[in-house]
Structure 1
Amino acid sequence: MKIRKLIGEDAEVYWNLRLEALQQNPEAFATTYEDAISRLNPLKRVASNLDAIEAATIGVFIDNDLVGIMTIAEEAAPKLRHRLNLFAVYVTPRVRGKQIGSALLHAVIDHAKELPHVEKINLTVVSTNIQAIRLYEKAGFIAFGIEQHAMKTGDTYVDEVYMSLEW
């Protein structure tokens, strides 16, 4: 297993895993698979995002195959620069249950702690994703609220739990 920050050259493997995530767990993401594939030049945009200074996407590779991703992004407003937002989290089903998510999350936290102005990480997680909530709690995240009906697909609503880790 190799964990590292993704760069623009990783755009294609990232994009393929992102599309898998949108198909496998559509309830967990605000973006739909259909929205994603309809974008013009997605690889160019993904490469630019992966090279952005204000964000970092950390990936886990097994045998040169990208199997997990997490993105953290800084806030732009000066009063919010002490915090990061964690999003776009996904581990492919074939490696779930093998502590990949835990290793990835700890690498993300370590990366965040290297940023001198950062003091906390915020995230939201679908309230029915008990495994993810437990993963975040084991890493020290604390729930501080629930947004009911945070997302809606057709007539189905999904609630999200807001969580934070401070140091």
Structure 2
Amino acid sequence: MNQAPVIKGENVLLRQPIDSDVEDFLKVEVNEELVRMYGGNTKKMTAKTLERAQQYVESIRSRKIAWCIEYEGRLIGSARLTVNEEDNRARYAVGIFDPSVWSKGLGTEITQLVLQYAFEELELHRVDLRVLEYNKRAIRCYEKCGFIQEGIEREGALIEGKYETDVFMSILDREYFEKKVKKE
């Protein structure tokens, strides 16, 4: 497989980059809360540039299994699976850079679509992720989608002079299918 397939959800479309994505990325100002949730330094925030927007879109295009997230006809973020074929597992990452669409359930929808692809199409055994402990919104989303907290890395990330903790979460194929059967 050369690239991730297009996946259509109820509200979002997961797809490959298109020309207007650079423009859509540039239209949304850098957001302090987003930088913090990504583990960035809010004291060193700078305005977006055309070069940075092009790099963002190119980073999605260059990955084997990555998507642009389209909502209401515009780019709002990205999602990816980094597959380890030897162990039949993947690391999941998602980011919605547009704060105007936060708290609408889009992260949950996106995560469910990616998990469906991971377990039903790729037939993976496990999908895992790591998230900063203070990113409560993301943790709630992942738990709603069936991820289970399995450990922490205590104070492993130095962010703005303070050591922060990462939470490790995962979902196994059997847990995904059990959850799916309960919904039906």
User: TM-score if structure 2 supplies the norm length?
Assistant: 0.69
Q: Deviations over 1:53-80 (max 9, x none)?
A: 6221241312x222343222223xx533
What is residue 16 of structure 2 aligned with on the other side?
A: 6
Task: For residue 144 of structure 1, report the CA deviation from its aligned partner.
Answer: 0.6
Change (3 A) 1:42 1:98: closer
Contact 2:119-2:125 at 8 Å conserved across structures: yes
Any stretches of 5+ residues in structure 2 without a counterpart? Answer: 1-10, 174-184
Structure 1 pair 114–54 and aligned structure 2 pair: CA distance change class (3 A)? farther
The CA RMSD over aligned residues, in Å, is 3.2
**Which one of 154, 158, 168 corresponds to residue 162 of structure 1?**
168
Alignment of 1:1-167 (within 5 A): 1-7=11-17, 9=19, 11-13=21-23, 15-16=25-26, 20=30, 23-30=32-39, 41-42=51-52, 45-52=55-62, 54-62=64-72, 64-75=73-84, 78-80=85-87, 82-90=88-96, 92-167=98-173
Instruction: Kindly tell me the number of residue pairs found equivalent between the two proteins.
Output: 162
Superposed displacement of residue 88, structure 1: 4.3
In 1, the alpha carbon distance for the partners of 2:59 and 2:18 equals: 8
Per the alignment, in what secondary structure is the counterpart of residue 7 of structure 1? coil
Distance of aligned partners of 1:50 and 1:26 in 2 relative to their CA distance in 1, 3 Å threshold: closer
Structure number with bigger Rg:
2
Aligned match of 2:6: none
Cα shift at 1:97: 2.1
1:127 Cα shift?
A: 0.7
Bigger mean CA offset, 144-153 vs 115-124? 115-124
Gaps of 5+ in 1: none
3-state secondary structure, aligned to 2:124: coil
**How far is the alpha carbon of 1:42 from its aligned partner?**
4.3
